[in-house]
């Protein structure tokens, strides 16, 4: 259930159509390939996408520098997945059920 929500969120935020039943490793591989294509063909779109997802530029630069021999698409894909997980956890943590709201305060 968590993985499907994660993939749904990534599909929505990145305008992709990834298979909802991918394992995390398959998800990272597919995202890595997508990111590498963007690096080659539409770098501006990649930058806008990372900004929208809220990937910290300093963290990205540090990881790319520290792992210069690793595929950049893979590194960025891992960051995207981790950030999306954080967003989902945050939303679930602060989500209120309608049962928690008194009837006179509901809209």
CA atoms within 13 A on the CB side of 41: 6
pLDDT of residue 100: 67
Residues belonging to the chain: 107
Cβ atoms 53, 6 nearer than 8 A: no
Quote the tokens at residue 78.
């891992």
pLDDT of residue 93: 78
Return the H-helix or E-strand segment holding 68: none
Report d(CA 30, CA 104) in Å as an integer. 48
pLDDT of residue 1: 39
pLDDT in tens, 32-59: 999 999 999 999 999 999 999 999 999 9
Contacts of 17 (CB under 8 A, 6+ apart): 11
pLDDT means per 10 residues in the chain (107 residues)?
75 90 94 96 95 93 94 96 92 68 72
pLDDT of residue 23: 93
Report d(CA 87, CA 69) in Å as an integer. 29
């Amino acid at each position: 259930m968590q993985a499907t929500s994660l993939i749904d969120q990534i599909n929505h935020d990145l305008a992709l159509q990834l298979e909802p039943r991918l394992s995390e490793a398959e998800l990272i591989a597919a995202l890595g390939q997508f990111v590498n294509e963007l690096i080659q063909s539409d770098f501006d779109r990649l930058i806008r996408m990372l900004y929208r997802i809220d990937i910290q530029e300093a963290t990205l630069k540090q990881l790319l520098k520290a792992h210069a021999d690793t595929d950049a698409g893979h590194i960025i894909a891992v960051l995207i997945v981790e950030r999306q997980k954080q967003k989902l956890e945050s939303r679930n943590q602060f989500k209120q059920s309608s049962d928690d709201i008194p009837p006179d305060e509901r809209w």
